[in-house]
Structure 1
Amino acid sequence: MATTLVDSKLFKPLKLGNHTLQHRIVLAPLTRNRNDDNHAPIPIMETYYADRVSTPGTLIISEATATSHDEEGQRNIPGFNSDAQVAAWKKIIDAVHAKGSVYFQQLFALGRASTVDYITESGRPYRSSSDVSMPGVDVSPNPMTEAEIQETIQGFANSSKLAIAAGADGVEVHGAHGYLLDQFLSDSVNRRTDRWGGSIENRSRLTLEVVRAVVGAIGAERVAVRFSPYARFQGTEKSDVHELYSYLIAELKKMNAKFAYLSLVNATGDPAVFLLGEKNENEGRTLDFILDAWDNLAPVLIAGGYTPEVARLTVDEHYKQWDVLIGFGRHFLANPDFVFRIKNGFPLNKYNRKTFYLTMANEGYNDYPFSPQYLETQVVA
């Protein structure tokens, strides 16, 4: 007999921002390179997102979308700044809403995580908090000027307003995984000596200013923030994890804002480990100190290598006193009816890592089947 999780807290409703979710299983943001050469979604993406809200009341978070043309620093990643991009994303947002689910747009700037040859040929700037090179990259980024920093802050606010105008229920500010905001947070990357670098307060300034600008643009109940305290991906180790993130949480709480949620990646979810095969030097370290400090100010979404059973243990036991959601990536990609399957204990499709980043391809994207049991529920009598 299949083991179900129907009685788990995973399947209890939860208030998030202006919405009530019907369960606590979330599609985590997944870069999959299915956008066109002008960084706009293509039609297969509408099918992909709509299929993954086959269970109503699901929270869907988009793949990371660039807040300006200058930050579209890798081929076939999406932006959310041009009319064509916004129009294409609106179709996706509408498709998610038509299935009775909730949609957040993840926004980011790449900084030195941009692909050097691509931005060189396209005339985009190669920049970061300071001139520290990415691991494996021979070119050093230019330290950002004050004007560029201010433009970045405004870019997040502008894209947030565009997302809400297109129908999104909120935005997630991506301050994780070695992208630009994380490049300012990391003391291994940020070597600045001005007000944007050095101390924890200065390294945190850009992230906090971005959050303030986005909250001012669309309201805190539509805003989430993502952090990856233990990730070494793209060379953004931090020597002061506990102090840095304790400060960030304290400053977010000082804003007296009711955020939609806080998004965290656990130590297991470091892409340097599961993508690049590096040793996990932070294995066993937890996010407990952040959840304690956050103290249920808003729900906390945690992602990073979860199985359904570990997710159950996380929400029902480890974090039972907190309002916690669990983000799934690879399994949700491979199972459009993922929520239905794990609620009822049905087997999961296996994902194929080799097809994750096939440019504009339907293979490894929309060719994973629904379960026979789910399809039976869709038969109209």
Structure 2
Amino acid sequence: MTSLFDSYRLGELTLPNRMVMAPMSRVRAAGGGLATPSMATYYAQRATAGLIVSEGVQPNEVGQSNPGTPGLHTDEQVAAWRPVTAAVHTNGGRIFAQIMHGGRVSHPDTTGMLPVGPSAVPAVGEVFTPTGPQPVPTPRALETAEVPEQARSYAEAARRAVDAGFDGVELHGANGYLISQFLSTNANLRTDRYGGPVAHRIRFAVEAVSATVEAVGADRTGIRLSPAGTFWGVEETDVLDLYTELLTELSRLGIAYVHIEATADEELLVALRRVWPGTLVMNPVLPMGPKQTGREDADHWLGLGADLISFGRGFIANPDLVERLRTGLPVAPVDESTYYQGGDAGYLTYPAYQHTV
């Protein structure tokens, strides 16, 4: 049986193990969406992961969802990321940037502009702003002629990511953000070529991925998806048909991987594994749910055909998570109160396992 610690060939990269550090927002960027020296240390500490996927990085100003998140749409941001990617590479690691356009999940107090989305339908819940949580406003529906520009923003950010030293990019197509909004049947009420039937609802995702492949190459491009997920109030109907058609179209582009979250029942997820012919990264438990991914979850999904397994919270509190799982050492708990508080506490202060005599 495939082991979590077997090597794996991903495009031009050889991963020393099949553990992926999942993208996790930590909102510790400096003003102007700049990466920081602390971020370089944070990612370098976790470079033993087969692959690191960075926190969500906004591709343009209107795409920023939360304050304190980094960007990849200015020269200054590219320059700020270079020490981060260099630190990961110096420690022997590999890192993709997750390109995340928040779409309707944003606020004018954060970006200075009204959020945009497929339709003028607000998300459900409150979004972080510089003055604290606030209800999500009703977004401005993108005009048909504007939609391709937002799709291309992923590709433009991908070019900058490669210039900044990233090994590739992952488009955030999950969790109720812009690509997910276009896939949704209640956030996307459009009647043009981007809304309505499945073939139209997947168009934005396919165009964004196609543009990114053209920009940086298929072997440097992945996408994250959350089939049947309900984050930020999105709903999807005909989920199997929707994702079967989407994965079929993506397979024609030959991208590096699809990263799927366990947001649907296992039967549906296994069916999608059969549809997708390429590398599958599986996030075996519901993100932000009550359970963290463990060794048993990883082994279970490797047995079901996943190629790589992503771990989220485990990597926050355990920079040496690979070695802990390899040798059966205890996994340290994470302090949830430090997820988004800023500063180095709960960010750089988790130690590697301390052996005692």
1:9-36 deviations in Å (ceiling 9; x for gaps)? 1011111111111111110000010111
After TM superposition, list the pairs within 5 Å mapping 1:139-154 onto structure 2: 139-154=137-152
Quickly say closer, same or farther: Cα 1:292–1:367, change in 2 above 3 A.
same
Secondary structure in 1 matching 2:324: helix
What is the root-mean-square deviation in Å for CA atoms of aligned residues? Answer: 1.9
**Offset of residue 83 of structure 1:** 1.5
After TM superposition, list the pairs within 5 Å mapping 1:20-99 onto structure 2: 20-53=14-47, 55=48, 58-99=50-91
CA distance in 1, matches of 2:25, 2:210: 26
**Is the 8 Å Cα contact of residues 284 and 301 (structure 2) preserved in structure 1?**
no
Quickly say closer, same or farther: Cα 1:31–1:371, change in 2 above 3 A.
same
Aligned residue in 2 for 1:273: none
Aligned residue in 2 for 1:129: 118
CA distance in 2, matches of 1:303, 1:154: 30
Aligned residue in 2 for 1:197: 195
Secondary structure in 2 matching 1:10: coil
Aligned-residue identity in percent: 36
CA distance in 1, matches of 2:222, 2:150: 18
After TM superposition, list the pairs within 5 Å mapping 1:167-178 onto structure 2: 167-178=165-176
TM normalised by structure 2 equals 0.91
**Is the 8 Å Cα contact of residues 65 and 106 (structure 1) preserved in structure 2?**
yes
Pick the aligned partner of 2:12 from 18, 39, 47: 18
**Offset of residue 116 of structure 1:** 4.3
Secondary structure in 2 matching 1:69: coil
Pick the aligned partner of 1:336 from 308, 319, 339: 319
CA distance in 1, matches of 2:67, 2:40: 20
1:311-351 deviations in Å (ceiling 9; x for gaps)? 12321x3x2xx352111111110001110111011111110
Query: Which consecutive unaligned segments of at least 5 residues does structure 2 have?
Result: 126-134, 286-291
- Say if 2:350 is the partner of 1:368: yes
CA distance in 1, matches of 2:270, 2:64: 34
Aligned residue in 2 for 1:226: 224
**Offset of residue 173 of structure 1:** 0.9
Which moves more between the two structures, 285-294 or 226-235?
285-294
- Say if 2:249 is the partner of 1:260: no
Quickly say closer, same or farther: Cα 1:30–1:39, change in 2 above 3 A.
same
Quickly say closer, same or farther: Cα 1:138–1:251, change in 2 above 3 A.
closer
Letter matched to residue 319 of structure 2:
P
CA distance in 1, matches of 2:265, 2:239: 14
**Is the 8 Å Cα contact of residues 107 and 137 (structure 2) preserved in structure 1?**
no
CA distance in 2, matches of 1:219, 1:303: 28
After TM superposition, list the pairs within 5 Å mapping 1:222-301 onto structure 2: 222-255=220-253, 257=254, 259-267=255-263, 282=264, 286-295=268-277, 297-301=278-282
CA distance in 1, matches of 2:301, 2:151: 35
CA distance in 2, matches of 1:182, 1:189: 9
Secondary structure in 1 matching 2:165: coil
Pick the aligned partner of 1:107 from 99, 112, 128: 99
TM normalised by structure 1 equals 0.85
**Offset of residue 283 of structure 1:** 5.5
Secondary structure in 2 matching 1:300: strand
**Offset of residue 285 of structure 1:** 5.3
Which moves more between the two structures, 175-184 or 228-237?
228-237
CA distance in 1, matches of 2:2, 2:46: 21
Aligned residue in 1 for 2:185: 187
Query: Which consecutive unaligned segments of at least 5 residues does structure 1 have?
Result: 1-6, 268-281, 377-381
**Offset of residue 147 of structure 1:** 3.6
RCO comparison, higher one (Cα < 8 Å, 6+): 1
Secondary structure in 2 matching 1:64: strand
**Is the 8 Å Cα contact of residues 37 and 75 (structure 1) preserved in structure 2?**
no
Aligned residue in 2 for 1:272: none
Bigger helix share: 1
**Offset of residue 158 of structure 1:** 1.0
**Offset of residue 364 of structure 1:** 1.1
Quickly say closer, same or farther: Cα 1:343–1:8, change in 2 above 3 A.
farther
**Offset of residue 233 of structure 1:** 0.8
CA distance in 2, matches of 1:226, 1:301: 10
The alignment of Structure 1 onto Structure 2 pairs a total of residues equal to 342
Aligned residue in 1 for 2:206: 208
**Offset of residue 152 of structure 1:** 1.0
Which moves more between the two structures, 138-147 or 156-165?
138-147
1:259-307 deviations in Å (ceiling 9; x for gaps)? 211111012xxxxxxxxxxxxxx55554101110113x23434343411
CA distance in 2, matches of 1:140, 1:299: 35
